[in-house]
């Protein structure tokens, strides 16, 4: 009786074997010294993630973005990088790609958006990320979005993201990080989710923690206050010695620069150049968008961008991984609320007691950070905001309202 032959491996088994060998090679490189990643940027916007990663030594080979104003900026700032205009038609990424990054749309996940959730028409485009990751089994993936996604629909967005990567064989970790940790006077909290098939994402996101330092600002006369003059009825974006989160638009459907009450009582709106700097970009980074001639495009682009210093910090830790700190952890079970930091590296999901400040860079006060002359907030805008505060059930600091009333009188307005 002749010995039966073993059936040949099918294509899927062969592909998995090759992917495993590649993963082992990448893992050895990562363990020994970190590595410079070949980056693919999806939903690239104006390149905040990619600029920060480039500053840390990583190289972007492909960008994907459909917004015409953002595309003009990317062509200006990344002239040698291949650009694709629609993530839905992107069929492949470069074979050498080792890191996919995606600040995917937040319109359906933001508290200021329509809250339709992770499967809404814009935020649901994350399906294309899953499709490309599943096809190429990219060693590392970095996602960025708003922290409200952890609460909306009992955290269905994070549940979807985490479960998809778990099924694909990835370890993952995420952490909410505040841009103020990097010295920028902008209160900007964002979720950074890092997944890997070859390494431990905790070595990147949880190798640093500066505790929860008390913010330098106070309610003293010597400190500037940032706020959104388009709000004031149901809520108020307001920050001491900082700008509240820069955003792409307002409920009034207009470009939405915040306003600043300076220590001397002057009330004005910062320039687009200072807004770029508040995100960590060089001044005039988005200047190419002016050629598209869309009113307010640069404010929208800057408001939707990823903070460059946060991306730079992640990029440096990708090159030089540390060891995860001994942070307190709590098991996460089905139906639990998603915390501000968590991981699953193979032993189940756990919440992590980590601060939103992984580092503390020298902080520049808001009134000294603003370089270019601010435009006075108009009498109409000031009067409208004060009118909304009177009808609102919100509490406002008396000194803050007094400064606005004085500014209105200075501008010759009345209510």
Same domain, 136 and 173: yes
Q: How confident is the model at residue 296 (pLDDT cuts 50, 70, 90)?
A: confident
Q: Residue 2: its pLDDT value, please?
A: 42
Tell me: pLDDT of 26 over 50.
no
1 is a domain residue: no
User: Do residues 181 and 361 lie in contact, with contact meaning Cβ atoms separated by under 8 Å?
Assistant: yes
Q: Residue 117: its pLDDT value, please?
A: 63
Same domain, 258 and 188: no
Domain that holds residue 325: 12-213+306-352
357 is a domain residue: no
Task: Round to whole Å and give the CA distance between 347 and 356.
Answer: 24
Same domain, 274 and 176: no
Tell me: pLDDT of 33 over 50.
no
118 is a domain residue: yes
70 is a domain residue: yes
90 is a domain residue: yes
Same domain, 119 and 176: yes
Same domain, 93 and 161: yes
Same domain, 141 and 162: yes
| Mean pLDDT along residues 37-48 | 97
State the DSSP H helix or E strand holding residue 130, giving kind and residue range, or none if neither: helix 126-136
Residues recorded for the chain: 415
Q: Residue 372: its pLDDT value, please?
A: 83
Q: Residue 28: its pLDDT value, please?
A: 46
Burial (Cβ within 10 Å: 0-12, 13-18, ≥19) of residue 312: buried
372 is a domain residue: yes
Q: Residue 105: its pLDDT value, please?
A: 74
Same domain, 141 and 270: no
Tell me: pLDDT of 29 over 50.
no
Tell me: pLDDT of 69 over 90.
yes
Same domain, 248 and 125: no
pTM above 0.75, yes or no: yes
Same domain, 81 and 46: yes
Q: Residue 219: its pLDDT value, please?
A: 47
374 is a domain residue: yes
How many domains does the chain contain in total? Answer: 2
201 is a domain residue: yes
Each residue's pLDDT tens digit, 76-120: 999 999 999 999 999 999 999 999 999 977 766 666 665 666 666
Same domain, 92 and 19: yes
What's the alpha-carbon Rg for the chain, to the nearest Å?
23
User: Do residues 288 and 68 lie in contact, with contact meaning Cβ atoms separated by under 8 Å?
Assistant: no
Same domain, 18 and 166: yes
106 is catalytic: yes
Catalytic residue among 102, 106, 132, 301: 106
**Of 215 and 35, the one with more pLDDT:** 35
Same domain, 206 and 237: no
* Helix 379-391, helix 398-410: angle, nearest 10: 150
Q: What is the DSSP string of 358-408?
A: S--PPP--HHHH--SPPEEPPHHHHHHHHHHHHHS-----HHHHHHHHHHH
Mean pLDDT, the chain, rounded, equals 87
Q: How confident is the model at residue 295 (pLDDT cuts 50, 70, 90)?
A: confident
Each residue's pLDDT tens digit, 204-260: 999 999 997 765 444 455 789 999 998 877 777 889 999 999 987 655 445 678 999
């Amino acid at each position: 009786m002749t010995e039966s032959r073993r059936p040949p491996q099918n294509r899927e088994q062969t592909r998995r074997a090759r992917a495993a060998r590649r993963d082992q090679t990448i893992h050895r490189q990562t363990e020994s010294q970190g590595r410079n990643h070949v980056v693919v940027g999806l939903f690239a916007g104006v390149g905040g993630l990619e600029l920060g990663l480039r500053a840390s030594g990583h190289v972007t080979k492909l960008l994907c973005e459909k917004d015409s104003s953002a595309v003009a900026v990317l062509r200006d700032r990344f002239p040698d990088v291949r650009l694709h205009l629609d993530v839905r038609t992107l069929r492949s990424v470069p074979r050498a790609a080792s890191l996919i990054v995606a600040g995917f749309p937040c319109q359906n996940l933001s508290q200021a958006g329509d809250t339709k959730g992770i499967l809404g028409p814009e935020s649901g485009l994350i399906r294309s990320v899953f499709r490309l990751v599943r096809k190429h089994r990219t060693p590392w993936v970095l996602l960025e979005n708003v922290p409200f996604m952890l609460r909306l629909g009992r955290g269905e967005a994070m549940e979807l993201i985490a479960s998809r990567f778990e099924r694909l064989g990835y370890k993952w970790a995420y952490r909410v990080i505040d841009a103020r940790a990097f010295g920028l006077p902008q209160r900007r909290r964002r979720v950074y989710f890092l997944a890997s098939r070859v390494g431990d994402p905790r070595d990147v996101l949880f190798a640093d923690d500066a505790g929860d330092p008390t913010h330098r600002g106070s309610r003293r006369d010597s400190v500037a206050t940032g706020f959104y003059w388009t709000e004031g009825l149901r809520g108020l974006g307001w920050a001491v010695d900082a700008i509240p989160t820069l955003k792409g638009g307002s409920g009034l459907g207009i470009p939405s620069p915040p306003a600043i009450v300076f220590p001397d009582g002057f009330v004005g709106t910062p320039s687009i150049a200072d807004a770029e700097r508040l995100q960590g970009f060089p001044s005039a980074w988005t200047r190419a968008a002016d050629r598209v001639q869309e009113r307010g495009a640069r404010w929208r682009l800057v408001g939707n961008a990823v903070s460059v210093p946060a991306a730079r910090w992640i990029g440096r830790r990708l090159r030089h991984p540390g060891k995860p700190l001994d942070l307190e952890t709590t098991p996460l079970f089905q139906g639990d609320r998603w915390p501000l930091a968590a991981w699953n590296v193979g032993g189940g999901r756990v919440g992590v007691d980590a601060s939103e400040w992984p580092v503390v860079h020298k902080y520049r006060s808001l009134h000294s950070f603003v370089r270019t002359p601010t435009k006075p907030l108009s009498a109409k805008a000031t009067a409208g905001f004060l009118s909304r505060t009177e009808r609102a059930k919100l509490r406002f600091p008396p000194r803050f309202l007094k400064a606005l009333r004085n500014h209105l009188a200075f501008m010759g307005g009345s209510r």
